[in-house]
Amino acid sequence: MGWILGDKFDSVYPHKGSIKALWETKWRAVCEKSVYPFHDGKLEDFEPIIEKLIAGNINDAYSDAYTETFLPFAESLEQRAAEALRKGDTSTASHLLLRAAVVYRIARYPYVGPDSTGLKRTAFERQKLAYLKATSFWSPPLTEKTVEFVHRAGNEGSQIPVYLRIPDDTGAKPVPCVLIMTGLDGYLPDNSQRIHECIARGWAVLVCEIPGTADCPADPRDPEAPDRLLDSLFLYLRSRADIDMAKVVVWGLSAGGFYAIRAAHTHRDHLAGCIAHGPGAHYFLNKDWLSKVEDHEYPFPIVSAWAKKYGYDEPADFCTQGQGKFSLLETGILDQPSTRLLLLNGVDDGVVPIEDCLLVLQHGNAKEARFYPGLPHMGYPYSLAEAYRWLEQLLA
């Protein structure tokens, strides 16, 4: 098929295969602005790391050599944080720990799964420790909770790890809640900016990971596993007197956007609305698309990580079988009624085709959408402002 991405579909983007090119054409500019994925980080934290990677000709982010390069720099930031704590300076310590967490994040980037071992898993565990220590000084604090996976099936784990932050001074009045569903490479400790923005507006935030990533216990091979995950999370939210269950919204990020679309249909009676931000639905699993996605804007090879995320040991099997098994079109989800659903993305998304958002608009009841011409995956930075505007109207 012909893709809206046009000539870019067959192009090999200039940063592919080179850390030096990736830094010079993409990451440096993002880091300078302290936006995703470097929010909470600083340029000075990454310049010496990138220099060492370039000097060592280390371009494979899946290698131990890549991850090892980051660890001493993260540890140095943690040591500085410890010194600040000894002096009683919790504000400086928190900022330094957040910076360390970002360095650990890029060290374990791009993918850690529930069964991952080795250095990537080590970096992820250290990231979580640094982040939770940093956020313990926030006011109000962010806390880690363990939710019982009541609706688990088969060999699924029994506990769902989540992060929760509740606004101060809620009194006896329950507050709206934004349930953030993370992505392929962004996990619980990677959402500071969104959490701050929600808290500032008086909304609680619950962050959870999606099947096949990080510490999520849901079976990645089962298309219905996310339904059981949400059922259990809603049970937990209903048990809290401080959450207004009439104003719960799911905000799915990138790969999490797929689950936000699904939730808008399968859990429509439990949700005030959903935001699917940079979502796939059907075409992102098309074998033609997958044959070229490695050449596009994602910093590193992505198909092998996607395959593992959906429970496939062999990427080739994922490319030929994934669409029939998981597509929201093929499984009939898109033709069900849905709650309010906002679709956000860049038209020039080379990770997930904009065709997926258009497909969602063509099925079921009417949806809402905002697409950004010329912008890549997620439609940053403009899509964030639109998400908050939409949520403000919905949760007023």
Largest CA-CA distance found in the chain, in angstroms, rounded: 62
Exposure b/e, 123-132, CB count within 10 A at least 16 = b: bbebbbbbbb
Tokens encoding 348: 């020039």
Q: Are 345 and 378 in contact (CB under 8 A)?
A: yes
The angle formed by the CA atoms of residues 119, 124 and 125, to the nearest 5 degrees, is: 95
Question: Element (H or E) spanning 97, and its range?
Answer: helix 90-108
Helix (H, G, I), strand (E, B) or coil at 117: coil
Q: Are 260 and 275 in contact (CB under 8 A)?
A: yes
How far apart (Å, rounded) are the C-alpha atoms in residues 178 and 199?
10
Is residue 313 annotated as a catalytic residue, yes or no? no
Catalytic entry in 265, 267, 282, 377: 377
Is residue 296 annotated as a catalytic residue, yes or no? no
Catalytic entry in 192, 254, 327, 383: 254
Residue 380 backbone dihedrals phi, psi, to 5 degrees: -65, 150
Is residue 265 annotated as a catalytic residue, yes or no? no
CA distance to 181, 231, 386, per residue, from 184 (Å): 10, 21, 23
Tokens encoding 196: 């701050």
Helix (H, G, I), strand (E, B) or coil at 253: strand
Q: Where are the strands (E) in the chain, listed by range?
A: 143-148, 159-165, 175-181, 204-208, 243-253, 273-277, 341-346, 368-372
DSSP summary character for residue 333: G
Helix (H, G, I), strand (E, B) or coil at 341: strand
Catalytic entry in 192, 349, 363, 383: 349
How far apart (Å, rounded) are the C-alpha atoms in residues 281 and 223?
13
Tokens encoding 302: 């992505």
How far apart (Å, rounded) are the C-alpha atoms in residues 356 and 115?
29
Which positions are catalytic?
Answer: 254, 349, 377
